[in-house]
Amino acid sequence: MDRNRYPVDPWALRETALPLQPETAETLFAVGNGYLGIRGSSEEGHDAVCPGTFINGFHESFPIHHAEEAYGYARAGQTMLPVPDPTVMRIHAADEPLHLPVADLERYERTLDLRRGLLERDLIWRTPVGVRLHVVSRRIVSFTHRHLAVMELEVTPLDGDLPLTVVSSVVNRLDADPASHTAAPPSPTAEWDRAVVPDPRKAGGMEAHVLQSTDLWCDGPRSYLGYHTAASGMTLGIGVDHRCSSPEEILEHEEHHADAVSHEFRVHARRGHTVRLVKYVAYHTSRSSQPGELIQRCRRSLDDAVAIGADRLYGEQREWMNGFWQRSDVEVLGRPDLQQAIRFNIFHVAQAAACSEGHGIPAKGLTGTGYSGHYFWDGEIYVLPFLSYTTPEISRSALRFRWTMLPAARRRAREINMEGALFPWRTINGLEASANYAQGTAQFHIDADIAYALMLYARASGDWDFLTCTGVDLLVETARMWFDLGFFRQDGDRWFHIDGVTGPDEYTTVVDDNLYTNIMARGNLWDAVRTVRALEQNRPDAYTRMVERVGLRPDEVNDWQDAAERMFIAYDEELQVHPQDDQFLFKEVWDLPHTPDADRPLLLHFHPLVIYRYQVLKQADVVLAEFLHSDQFSSEDKLRDFNYYEPLTTGDSSLSAVAQAIMAADIGHVARAVHHFTNLVYIDLADLHHNADDGIHIASAGGVWSALVYGFGGMRDDTGVPQLDPRLPDSWQGLRFRITLAGSRVRVELRPGEVELTLEDGPATTLRVRGQEVAVRPEGPTTVPLELHSRLTEPPTMSDIAGRLRSDGTVIEPTLPSHSAHRNDPEPSSEAREHSASQSPIRHSPDT
Amino acid sequence: MDRNRYPVDPWALRETALPLQPETAETLFAVGNGYLGIRGSSEEGHDAVCPGTFINGFHESFPIHHAEEAYGYARAGQTMLPVPDPTVMRIHAADEPLHLPVADLERYERTLDLRRGLLERDLIWRTPVGVRLHVVSRRIVSFTHRHLAVMELEVTPLDGDLPLTVVSSVVNRLDADPASHTAAPPSPTAEWDRAVVPDPRKAGGMEAHVLQSTDLWCDGPRSYLGYHTAASGMTLGIGVDHRCSSPEEILEHEEHHADAVSHEFRVHARRGHTVRLVKYVAYHTSRSSQPGELIQRCRRSLDDAVAIGADRLYGEQREWMNGFWQRSDVEVLGRPDLQQAIRFNIFHVAQAAACSEGHGIPAKGLTGTGYSGHYFWDGEIYVLPFLSYTTPEISRSALRFRWTMLPAARRRAREINMEGALFPWRTINGLEASANYAQGTAQFHIDADIAYALMLYARASGDWDFLTCTGVDLLVETARMWFDLGFFRQDGDRWFHIDGVTGPDEYTTVVDDNLYTNIMARGNLWDAVRTVRALEQNRPDAYTRMVERVGLRPDEVNDWQDAAERMFIAYDEELQVHPQDDQFLFKEVWDLPHTPDADRPLLLHFHPLVIYRYQVLKQADVVLAEFLHSDQFSSEDKLRDFNYYEPLTTGDSSLSAVAQAIMAADIGHVARAVHHFTNLVYIDLADLHHNADDGIHIASAGGVWSALVYGFGGMRDDTGVPQLDPRLPDSWQGLRFRITLAGSRVRVELRPGEVELTLEDGPATTLRVRGQEVAVRPEGPTTVPLELHSRLTEPPTMSDIAGRLRSDGTVIEPTLPSHSAHRNDPEPSSEAREHSASQSPIRHSPDT
Residue type for B554, please?
A: P
Range A537-546 average pLDDT: 96
Q: Which of B371, B410, B491 to mutate to test the interface with A (most CBs of A within 10 A)?
A: B491
User: Which one, of B696, B770, B708, lies nearest residue B737 by Cα?
Assistant: B708
- Phi, psi (deg, nearest 5) at residue A522: -60, -45
Three-class SS state of B637: helix
- Which residues of B are tagged catalytic? 506
pLDDT the model gives residue A827:
41
**Rounded Cα–Cα distance for residues A131 and B215 (Å):** 71
pLDDT the model gives residue A175:
79
Evaluate if residue B788 carries a pLDDT over 70: no
Are the C-beta atoms of residues A281 and A145 closer than 8 Å to each other? no
Range A100-117 average pLDDT: 97
Give Cα separations from B737 to A4, B713, B714, B745, B759 (angstroms). 87, 8, 12, 10, 12
Are the C-beta atoms of residues B168 and B279 closer than 8 Å to each other? yes
- Are the Cβ atoms of A491 and B815 closer than 8 angstroms? yes
Task: Tell me the pairing of strands A782-785 and B734-741.
Answer: unpaired
pLDDT-derived band at B823, boundaries 50, 70, 90: very low
The alpha carbon of residue A71 is apart from the nearest alpha carbon of chain B, in Å, by 5
Instruction: Work out the mean pLDDT of chain B and round it to a whole number.
Output: 89
Are the C-beta atoms of residues B88 and B42 closer than 8 Å to each other? no
The alpha carbon of residue A814 is apart from the nearest alpha carbon of chain B, in Å, by 6
User: Which one, of A815, A739, A805, lies nearest residue A776 by Cα?
Assistant: A739
Range A66-95 average pLDDT: 93
Are the C-beta atoms of residues B75 and B424 closer than 8 Å to each other? no
Whether B410 contacts chain A with CB within 8 A: no
Contact list, B60 vs chain A (CB under 8 Å): none
**pLDDT tens-digit readout, B718-753:** 777 899 999 999 999 999 999 999 999 999 999 999
Evaluate if residue A807 carries a pLDDT over 50: no
Catalytic position from the list A15, A44, A506, A556: A506
**Rounded Cα–Cα distance for residues B207 and B60 (Å):** 9
Give every strand in the sheet of B96-97, ordered side by side: B96-97, B89-93, B162-171, B260-269, B250-257
- Are the Cβ atoms of B610 and A66 closer than 8 angstroms? no
**Rounded Cα–Cα distance for residues B393 and B384 (Å):** 10
- Are the Cβ atoms of A416 and B609 closer than 8 angstroms? yes
CA A124 to chain centre: 37
Contact list, B812 vs chain A (CB under 8 Å): 490
Of A551-555, B60-64, B810-814, the range with the lowest mean pLDDT is B810-814
Cβ-based neighbours of A614, under 8 Å, separated by 6 or more? A507, A587, A588, A589, A590
Give Cα separations from B41 to A182, A731, B9, B29, B89 (angstroms). 48, 84, 22, 8, 11
Contact list, B499 vs chain A (CB under 8 Å): 583, 586-588, 612-613
Whether B77 contacts chain A with CB within 8 A: yes
Range A670-682 average pLDDT: 97
Evaluate if residue B320 carries a pLDDT over 50: yes
Whether B594 contacts chain A with CB within 8 A: no
pLDDT the model gives residue B297:
97
pLDDT the model gives residue A233:
93
pLDDT-derived band at B490, boundaries 50, 70, 90: confident
pLDDT the model gives residue B491:
72
Q: Which of B:164-203 have CB within 8 Å of A? A: 185-186, 188-189, 192-198, 200
Task: Tell me the pairing of strands A148-157 and B89-93.
Answer: unpaired
Q: Residue A54 burial (CB < 10 Å; 0-12/13-18/19+)?
A: buried
Three-class SS state of A109: strand
Contact list, A407 vs chain B (CB under 8 Å): none
pLDDT the model gives residue A200:
38
In terms of pLDDT, which residue wins out, A575 or B808?
Answer: A575
User: Which one, of A757, A769, A755, lies nearest residue A722 by Cα?
Assistant: A769
DSSP B567: B
* Residue B344 backbone zone (phi > 0: left; psi -120 to 50: alpha; other: beta): alpha
- The residue in chain B having the minimum alpha-carbon distance to the alpha carbon of residue A440 is B68
- Are the Cβ atoms of A75 and B196 closer than 8 angstroms? yes
DSSP B501: B
- Are the Cβ atoms of A820 and B819 closer than 8 angstroms? yes
Are the C-beta atoms of residues A727 and A371 closer than 8 Å to each other? no
Range A475-493 average pLDDT: 92
pLDDT the model gives residue A555:
95
Range A501-528 average pLDDT: 98
Whether A484 contacts chain B with CB within 8 A: no
Establish, for the pair of chains A and B, how many residue pairs have beta carbons separated by less than 8 Å. 239
Whether A445 contacts chain B with CB within 8 A: no
- Are the Cβ atoms of A195 and B71 closer than 8 angstroms? yes
Long-range contacts of B25-29 (CB under 8 A, 24+ apart): B26/B50, B26/B51, B26/B52, B26/B368, B26/B693, B27/B367, B27/B368, B27/B684, B27/B692, B27/B693, B27/B694, B27/B695, B27/B696, B28/B112, B28/B344, B28/B684, B28/B685, B28/B692, B28/B696, B29/B110, B29/B112, B29/B119
Range A179-207 average pLDDT: 36
Are the C-beta atoms of residues B294 and B264 closer than 8 Å to each other? no
pLDDT the model gives residue B800:
39
Q: Which of A:553-582 have CB within 8 Å of B? A: 582
- Are the Cβ atoms of A510 and B609 closer than 8 angstroms? yes
Cβ-based neighbours of A354, under 8 Å, separated by 6 or more? A33, A34, A143, A324, A391, A394
Are the C-beta atoms of residues A89 and B215 closer than 8 Å to each other? no
Q: Which of A:789-848 have CB within 8 Å of B? A: 811-816, 818-820
Three-class SS state of A162: strand
**pLDDT tens-digit readout, B536-558:** 999 999 999 999 999 999 899 99
**pLDDT tens-digit readout, A555-602:** 999 999 999 999 999 999 999 999 999 999 999 999 999 999 999 999
User: Which one, of A155, A153, A126, A135, lies nearest residue A268 by Cα?
Assistant: A155
pLDDT the model gives residue B767:
95
Q: Residue B177 burial (CB < 10 Å; 0-12/13-18/19+)?
A: exposed
**Rounded Cα–Cα distance for residues A420 and A521 (Å):** 14
How many Cβ atoms sit within 10 Å of the Cβ of residue B551?
Answer: 9
Rg (CA), chain A: 28
Evaluate if residue B52 carries a pLDDT over 80: yes
Range B236-253 average pLDDT: 97
Range A495-517 average pLDDT: 97
Contact list, A66 vs chain B (CB under 8 Å): 67, 185, 435
Range B371-399 average pLDDT: 97
Task: Tell me the pairing of strands B614-615 and B588-589.
Answer: parallel
pTM listed for this prediction: 0.89
The alpha carbon of residue B610 is apart from the nearest alpha carbon of chain A, in Å, by 7
**Rounded Cα–Cα distance for residues B828 and B630 (Å):** 10
Determine if the peptide bond prior to B163 is cis (ω within 30°). no
Q: Residue B173 burial (CB < 10 Å; 0-12/13-18/19+)?
A: buried
pLDDT-derived band at B137, boundaries 50, 70, 90: very high
Whether B230 contacts chain A with CB within 8 A: no
Q: Which of B:354-393 have CB within 8 Å of A? A: none
Determine if the peptide bond prior to B601 is cis (ω within 30°). yes
pLDDT-derived band at A278, boundaries 50, 70, 90: very high
- Are the Cβ atoms of B69 and A605 closer than 8 angstroms? no
Q: Which of B188, B500, B607 sits opposite A612 (nearest CB)?
A: B500
**Rounded Cα–Cα distance for residues A255 and A462 (Å):** 54
Q: What's the length of chain A?
A: 848
Range A374-391 average pLDDT: 97
Cβ-based neighbours of A630, under 8 Å, separated by 6 or more? A638, A666, A716, A718
Share of residues in chain B with pLDDT > 90 (%): 84
- Are the Cβ atoms of A588 and B194 closer than 8 angstroms? no
pLDDT-derived band at A98, boundaries 50, 70, 90: very high
Evaluate if residue B197 carries a pLDDT over 60: no
Are the C-beta atoms of residues B620 and B663 closer than 8 Å to each other? yes
Share of residues in chain B with pLDDT > 70 (%): 89
ipTM associated with this complex:
0.87
- Are the Cβ atoms of B499 and A588 closer than 8 angstroms? yes
Cα B440–Cα B441–Cα B443 angle in degrees, nearest 5: 75
User: Which one, of B100, B216, B212, B95, lies nearest residue B165 by Cα?
Assistant: B95
Whether A77 contacts chain B with CB within 8 A: yes
pLDDT-derived band at B182, boundaries 50, 70, 90: very low
- Are the Cβ atoms of B63 and A188 closer than 8 angstroms? yes
Of A351-355, A502-506, A592-596, B816-820, the range with the lowest mean pLDDT is B816-820
Range B555-578 average pLDDT: 96
In terms of pLDDT, which residue wins out, A821 or B502?
Answer: B502
- Are the Cβ atoms of B185 and A65 closer than 8 angstroms? yes
**Rounded Cα–Cα distance for residues A740 and A736 (Å):** 14
- Are the Cβ atoms of B188 and A582 closer than 8 angstroms? no
pLDDT-derived band at A787, boundaries 50, 70, 90: confident
User: Which one, of B8, B747, B793, lies nearest residue B326 by Cα?
Assistant: B747
**pLDDT tens-digit readout, A136-165:** 999 999 999 999 999 999 999 999 999 999
